[in-house]
Amino acid sequence: MTEQISPAKGLHGVITVPGDKSISHRYAMLTSIAEGESQIHNYSTGADCHSTLACMRSLGVEHEFKDVDGRSVLFVRGKGIHGLSASKDQLDAGNSGSTIRMLSGILAAQPFTTRIAGDSSLAKRPMRRVMTPLGEMGARIEAAEGQFPPLTIHGTPLHGLDYRLPVASAQVKSCVLLAGLYAEGETIVREPVITRDHTEIALRELGADVTIEPRVARIRGGAQLTGKMLVVPGDLSSAAFFLVAALTSRNSDLIITNVGLNPTRTALLDVLRGMGASIKLLHIEQVNGEIIGNLQVKTSRIKGGVIEGATTAAVIDEVPILAILGALSEEGLIVRDAAELRVKETDRIDAIAHNLRRMGVTVHTTETGIEIPGRQSFQATEIDSFGDHRIAMAFAIAALSADGPCTIRESEAASVSFPEFYATIRQIVQ
Ligand code: S3P
């Protein structure tokens, strides 16, 4: 599919974004292995989170969406920690790295073998990062060429592990903690920089024996989880597209409601404010251990800057949209220490550079970073999403500031995390 996006004169209104993708995956997996029924409000509408639900159904866990007071609520009938059953068919993680990597931690501990695969993008993503710690816990996993999906996971009793993550990855941390839930003794994960801690919070919320310290998470195996009512905050990484859209479109004033503001995710707001963005937090509350608030964003003069080290890891999903902001900023944007971008849904360094150049923007790339001089403008053109949701959405936002209508090719990629994305643009453009 293609989508045509015309330049906007300004953005106004009040919008919501889908439930957080990371939290939705975790709630789907954990309520499946909890005792009793859970109700999950605001579960992500994105295809990735539906891949997780489909995998859990194949493992014997029933779920259904029911209308409660005009809202779609997900009901999951948990099977208990040892209640999953072998799947007749191979599991399909679709485009979702989070699904295959985190679920591997649970599957490694089951008394059966599971094969899990995904789409052509997932088939190229590195899995050794989860195979290594799970192997050290006792699991046996086979992979294509020793490192790519499909994975064949031979479940077995696991033992605890003290593991130092070689890469900053919340998916790998979560995988090891989920395996640790089943393992004998204590499992400790030490991370080089802080990554999102939704797994630790959700595990604690459902009754696991977890300790959270900066850069160290510990879990004791053997606890039972108990199902409950959970609310998923809106996804800040999805809100990021509209934050940048409002910052860069003239005379904009936008409110985004019920956005997740977990401190391990809000480096984006610090980066934007540090560059001069006018973003206000309007109403903050805590639900299920996660922070939720409303954001008000207005057109701002953006200075630009350098993103590196731990900050790069903390805004890794937002780099595509920050690149758009960088080109329109006064001093440009330099992103360093971003090797992980090369192994996301596509090679995002190349995808960003390719599309910026198509729009007439100067950009320099290295193996681990990207440099975009400021004060540039976007020429109307055709954009390639490369089947990557964040590339499709970032360049749709760039198109709002272009000198004419742009076409996004494979625009449907957006539905991996944000099926309502183009409708939301139409709702707020002037
Ligand atoms: C995620 C962690 C990050 C992020 C991804 C979601 C998660 O990946 O890029 O979109 O839900 O834990 P890595 O753990 O590979 O850095």
Q: What is the pLDDT of residues 114-155, one digit of tens each?
A: 999 999 999 999 999 999 999 999 999 999 999 999 999 999
> What is the model's pLDDT at position 285?
98
Backbone angles phi, psi at 206, to 5 degrees: -95, 0
* Spatial CB neighbours of 86, under 8 Å, sequence gap ≥ 6: 59, 110, 112, 113, 114
> What is the model's pLDDT at position 193?
96
CB 263 within 8 A of CB 211: no
The verdict on pTM exceeding 0.75 is yes
Task: Output the CA 388–ligand 1 centroid distance in Å.
Answer: 14
CB 407 within 8 A of CB 4: yes
Closest CA to 394 of 364, 361, 430, 367: 361
CA 311, chain centre distance (Å): 16
CB 133 within 8 A of CB 172: yes
Mutational test site, ligand 1, from 30, 98, 103, max ligand atoms within 8 Å of CB: 98
CB 413 within 8 A of CB 396: no
For the beta carbon of residue 1, count every other beta carbon within 10 angstroms: 12
Let me know if 367 is exposed, middle or buried by CB neighbors in 10 A (0-12, 13-18, 19+).
Answer: exposed
Containing H/E element for 398?
helix 389-399
Kindly report the protein residue whose alpha carbon is nearest to atom 13 of ligand 1: 169
Q: What value does the mean pLDDT take over residues 318-340?
A: 98
Give the chain's mean pLDDT: 98
* Spatial CB neighbours of 426, under 8 Å, sequence gap ≥ 6: none
pLDDT of 430 > 90? The answer is no
Kindly report the protein residue whose alpha carbon is nearest to atom 4 of ligand 1: 317
The token pair at 321 is 């949209």
Task: Output the CA 98–ligand 1 centroid distance in Å.
Answer: 6
Separation of alpha carbons 336 and 311, rounded Å = 10
